[in-house]
Amino acid sequence: MQVAQIIVDVPTRQTNNPYSYLIPESLEKQIQSGMRVQVPFGRRRVTGFVIGLSDKTSFDGKLKKISSLVDLSPVITPELLKLSEWMADKTFSFKISCLQTMLPGGMRTKFKKKLLATDQIRDTYPAIFHGQNEIDYDRQKFNNKTIAEILALRKSNQIKVHYELSSHAKPILSRAYKSKLNQQQIDHVLIDVQKRAVGQRRLLKMLYEQPSQTFLQSKLLHEGVGKQVLDTAVKQGWVTETQVRRIRNPFLQPVSKSYPLDLNEDQQTAVNRINNAIGKQTDTTFLLEGVTGSGKTEVYLQAMAHALSIGKTALMLVPEITLTPQIVGRIRSRFGDQVAMLHSAMSSGERYDEWQRINSGQAKVVVGVRSAIFAPLENIGLIIMDEEHDSSYKQSDTPRYQTRDVAKWRAAYNHCPVVLGSATPSLESRARAMKGVYQLIMLPHRFNNHALPHVSIVDMKDEMAHNRHILSKRLSNLITDRLEKHEQIILLLNRRGYSSFIMCRDCGYVPQCPNCDISLTMHKDTHTLNCHLCGHKEPIPTVCPKCHSKRIRHYGIGSQQLEEQVKDLFPTARVLRMDVDTTRKKGSHEAIINKFGAHKADILLGTQMIAKGLDFPEVTLVGVLNADSALQFPDFRSSERTFQLLTQVSGRSGRADKQGEVVIQTFNPDHYAIQLAKTQDYEKFYHTEMRIRHLGKYPPYYFTIKITGSSPSEKQTAYEMHQIAGFLRRYLTNKAIVLGPTPKTITRVNNRYFYQIIIKYRQEPKLKAALDDVLVKSQTKQQGGLLISIDNEPLDFM
DNA sequence: AGCACGCCGACT
DNA sequence: GTCGGCGTGCTC
Ligand SMILES: [Zn+2]
Ligand SMILES: [Zn+2]
């Protein structure tokens, strides 16, 4: 008898190991590693991943049998199976979480427990069944007495329990028809068909012309063959009805084929070096550092083409906000239908279909956001990460992986190079390139030698003294000028620091969340005050709850408010707004870009998403309204973030014929990140910032770990975290720096108190063991409900 | 995560 | 005495 090793979908420390199950004979031939199955686990039924098959087990208890298969073919490749083990270890997360994140969202399955009642039971217990024979069993929905009742009914077999597998991802099936007749038979049949049966004759003619074709019903309808005709055809035995899977098409528009562009010398060198590594099958990591407009994308495209030409596949990752229809169109125009796209803005059905195209080997090129690094591609020849410094490449919740590390792992497995591209590389990557761990490739010239824009900095401290608008005097004047010249303008509002709250003008009262240490934010659409941390909602007060003043009103600068102000100041200007609210609908993002690109608007304003990847030749003025909002929260990466953003935005303006202008509004005009962004001097920024990182013992000089602990009692949290910090200080070498515990900036969230410990280290062979120990202890002892999470190489220390 | 077992205080 | 509250431990 064969045994399967299974990781069950129960994300806890204690169940983080494979469980052995017997394979029933009926499944023996079909089951494979990487498939999902249903298994009995304790008293319930759960989903699990088959990670191995063998003929024995080390478990000496009584084995249970697998109930059934969830998938008909493996959904996790052998490579990804191995990767999940490594990742769970590296990110201190559960294997099941890693496996689940490798699948497109819609494929994640959960079991829903259902209760089935006879009519009699249903009517005897209306409080439980509400007149229905089948209900969801949510433990939280019932009180203990009801649960006891249900349990008793179950024991006496009066109600049945069954589990329903739920998943959003389903293929779309369309009705289709296939001929059962050969050509001679059709000839024969035609004799008996009346002349006036036009539909039937039409159908038979089509069947005659393409005997082996499967015709979609929609297509037949279009050709004038109606449903009734088809019903007769089925009855007559001319055709059979079948179903055809329809692949959803996430691409809005068809594209025309494009061909490789001529490269300049730098680009050619870059392509040669990368192609060489692809050909030699070495897992070199390249850092492709190229200023905005230096033609990185063309380098990517030609290297990908080379990988395809030797029979390999290619994977290209792009940050969330840069994965625009423009960039996808460019890739599709080069590689056609071989391209699959994985984007969070796609529906779960579209993502499922695209994923299937990859898994079945149809798609050879994958373009996508962070999670696309788990695309089930085989025989990868090249992995590209564009804008490698982008913070969206680090997943903020478990498993907290850094895409760059996963990319390097897959590159090593597939013996292929990784290309990290950026105009402003992360300090980590650049430092590694300096040490020779990565190979540095530079693209120092802007294509066609477009001039750099002129950047000016406006000190908003001075400005505030005589101007209470968001727009500075200088920026307003320039806007007026550009409007007169019929040139276009982009205004960027940094998303961070965005706030929308209400405050009493008399006593200064700001409504706070009752569960968290944070102000409530105003939501105009629902007319409520919401807490974005715990979801608490309450009505907007009309009088101040503290002093009963009626002068309680709304404050905040969001893109909506900015739009109002701009329209106020420039009533004749045509203004477009692009933010999360205006791009929620499918295709709306594209619509805004097309409209602005066609110069049907003068001013485009919005959040981060307008900062990247968009090319509008008519834009000659870019205003950054709150350039330094990242600097408000002092953290070791804030300068880097600010510099990267400003450099990127500045690159947007400035063309061959018209010099661009950038206005940066800030409260910190002398800050080096802002000053160096003005001159677009990455080299100097790199060296300045490295010195600061060195002095502060920050990455890339030190590795870092953030341990966060929370419990309903602040005292308890502080105490337990002190214990952990003490343990780490004793256990680790004296070269490791253990900081804290300190309360988090927002200490209370959802009535839990959060504390953190930071570890900085260079070499700590015992660290992994120590942290695993902390995790194990935290779950076995329960430590008064202390929940621990570990973030390996966190983005920030906040 | 569930789900059951078991021990102790409150109440018929 | 017994009901039910929650802490503890297990799930192939
Ligand atoms: Zn008040
Ligand atoms: Zn809250």
Q: Comparing A247-251, A571-575, A665-669, which segment has the lowest mean pLDDT?
A: A247-251
Residues sharing a CB contact under 8 Å with residue A413, sequence separation 6 or more, in sequence order: A79, A82, A83
Q: Which nucleotide is nearest to A41 (CA to C1')?
A: C11
Q: Is the predicted pLDDT of residue A401 greater than 80, yes or no?
A: yes
Query: Cα separations (Å) of A717 from A44, A93, A749?
Result: 33, 21, 13
Q: What's the pLDDT at A655?
A: 57
- Label residue A725 exposed, middle or buried (CB < 10 Å: 0-12, 13-18, 19+): buried
What counts of helices (H) and strands (E) characterise chain A?
24, 34
pLDDT averaged over every residue in chain A:
88
- Using the CB atoms, write b or e for A358-391: b if 16+ within 10 Å: bbeeebbbbbbbbbbbbbbbeebbbbbbbbbbbe
CA atoms within 13 Å, Cβ hemisphere of A231: 3
Q: Say yes or no to pLDDT of A57 above 60.
A: yes
Flag whether the ipTM exceeds 0.85. yes
> What confidence score (pLDDT) does residue A629 get?
77
The pLDDT confidence band at residue A782, using thresholds 50, 70 and 90, is low
Confidence category of residue A729, pLDDT binned at 50, 70, 90: very high
Cβ distance A707 to A774 under 8 Å? yes
**pLDDT for residue A472 is more than 50:** yes
CA–C1' nearest nucleotide, residue A110? B1
Do A431 and A700 touch, CB atoms closer than 8 A? yes
| Cα A752 to ligand 2 centroid, rounded to whole Å | 10
Q: At A459, phi and psi to the nearest 5?
A: -80, 110
Gap between the Cα atoms of A483 and A481, Å rounded: 5
> Which comes out higher in pLDDT, residue A355 or A135?
A355
A454-498+557-692 matches A265-447 in CATH topology: yes
For ligand 1, the distance from its centroid to the CA atom of residue A470, given in whole angstroms, is 26
Compute, in angstroms, the gap from residue A513 CA to the centroid of ligand 1: 17
Token pair for A594: 């097309």
Which residues are within 8 A (CB) of A612 and not within 5 positions of it... i.e. 6 or more apart? A319, A321, A322, A387, A648
User: Residue A715 has which token pair?
Assistant: 């005292």
Please report which ligand is nearest the Cα atom of A746.
2
Asked if the A703-792 domain carries CATH number 3.30.70.600, the reply is yes
Mean pLDDT of A231-238: 86
Rounded distance in angstroms from the CA atom of residue A138 to the C1' atom of nucleotide B11: 29
Q: Which CATH number fits domain A172-246: 3.60.21, 2.30.29, 1.10.10, 1.10.3470?
A: 1.10.10
* pLDDT (mean) for A683-696: 97
The 10s digit of each residue's pLDDT in A121-160 is 888 888 788 888 888 887 767 777 777 778 777 777 788 8
User: How far is ligand 2, taken at its centre, from the CA of residue A627, in Å?
Assistant: 28
Taking residue A478's Cβ as centre, other Cβ atoms within 10 Å add up to 20
**A74 touches A43 (CB < 8 A):** no
Complete DSSP assignment for A433-466: HHHTSSEEEEE-S-GGGPPPPEEEEEEHHHHHHH
Residue A666 C-alpha from the chain's centroid = 31
Could you check: is the Cβ of residue A148 within 7 Å of any atom of nucleic acid strand C? yes
pTM: 0.89
A547 is in an annotated binding site: yes
Q: Strand B footprint at Cβ < 7 Å? A: A 10-12, 14-15, 42-44, 113, 137, 139, 151
Give the integer Cα–Cα distance in Å for A149 and A335.
62
Q: In this predicted structure, what is the pLDDT of residue A210?
A: 85
Looking at CATH, the fold of the domain delimited by A265-447 is given as Rossmann fold (3.40.50)
Distance (Å, whole) CA A410 – CA A472? 49
Q: Given pLDDT bands bounded at 50, 70 and 90, which one contains residue A208?
A: confident
Record the tokens describing residue A629, joined without a space: 């909002």
Lowest mean pLDDT among A148-152, A251-255, A297-301: A251-255
A393 by Cβ neighbours in 10 Å (0-12 / 13-18 / 19+) ranks as buried
DSSP structure class, residue A248: P
Residue with more model confidence, A1 or A791: A791
Q: Supply A219's token pair.
A: 């297509």
A98 is an annotated ligand-binding site residue: no
Q: A10 CA to B7 C1', in Å?
A: 28
pLDDT surpassing 50 at residue A497: no
pLDDT digits (tens, 9 = 90+) for A37-49: 999 999 889 999 9
Distance A527 CA to ligand 1 centre (A): 20
Q: What is the pLDDT of residue A612?
A: 60
Within 8-37 of chain A, which residues have Cβ less than 7 Å from strand C?
10, 12, 14-15, 19-22
Q: DSSP class of residue A246? A: E
Is the per-residue pLDDT at A498 higher than 60? no
Query: In the predicted model, is pLDDT for residue A783 greater than 60?
Result: no
Residues A158-177 have pLDDT tens digits of 888 877 777 767 778 888 88
A507 is in an annotated binding site: yes
Strand partners of residue A24: none
Q: Give A11-58 as a DSSP string.
A: -SSTT-S-EEEEPPGGGTTT--TT-EEEEEETTEEEEEEEEEEES--S
The residue with tokens 């069950």 is A8
A140's tokens? 């939280």
Residue range A57-70: mean pLDDT, rounded: 91
* Residue A33 · residue A52 · CB < 8 Å: yes
Q: Is A534 marked within a binding site?
A: yes
* Topology at the third CATH level for domain A454-498+557-692: Rossmann fold (3.40.50)
Q: Mark the nucleotides of strand C covered by protein, meaning any atom under 7 Å from a CB.
A: 4-5, 8-12
A647 closest CA partner among A606, A675, A667, A617: A675
pLDDT category, A667, cuts 50, 70, 90? Answer: confident
Distance CA A337, CA A340 (A): 8
Lowest mean pLDDT among A5-9, A89-93, A199-203: A199-203
**Which H or E run contains A575?**
strand A575-578
Q: Give, in degrees to the nearest 5, the angle at Cα A389 between A384 and A394.
A: 85
Cα separation, A696 vs A703, whole angstroms: 13
Q: Alpha helix (H) ranges present in A415-540? A: 427-435, 460-466, 473-484
Q: Measure A45 CA to C3 C1' (Å).
A: 30
Contact in structure between A145 and A153 (CB atoms under 8 Å): no
Percent of chain A with pLDDT over 90: 51
Report pLDDT digits (tens) over A602-620.
999 888 777 665 677 788 8
**For the residues A79-98, what does the mean pLDDT come to?**
96
Q: Closest Cα partner for A403 from A392, A419, A416, A414?
A: A392
Round and report the angstrom distance from CA (A24) to C1' (B7).
41
Question: Which single residue has its CA nearest the C1' atom of nucleotide C3?
Answer: A145
Which string of DSSP letters, residue by residue, matches A377-392? --SEEEEEEETTT-GG
Which H, E and C letters describe A659-724, residue by residue?
Answer: CCEEEEEECCCCCHHHHHHHCCCHHHHHHHHHHHHHHCCCCCCCEEEEEEEEECCHHHHHHHHHHH
> What pLDDT score was predicted for residue A158?
80
From residue A367, give the alpha-carbon distance in Å to each of A307, A316, A348.
Answer: 15, 5, 16
Asked if residue A652 lies in contact with residue A614, where contact means CB atoms within 8 angstroms, the answer is: yes
Pairing of strands A619-624, A488-492: parallel
pLDDT computed for residue A613 by the predictor: 54
> Do the Cβ atoms of A724 and A786 come closer than 8 Å?
no
A140 beta carbon to strand C: under 7 Å: no
Bridge partners (DSSP) listed for residue A7? A49
- Residue A359 pLDDT > 50, yes or no? yes
For range A222-227, the mean pLDDT: 84
Mean pLDDT value of segment A71-78: 94
In chain A, what are the domain boundaries?
A: 110-167, 172-246, 265-447, 454-498+557-692, 703-792
Dihedral (Cα; A440, A406, A366, A427), 10-degree rounding: -40
Residue A50 or A581, more confident? A50
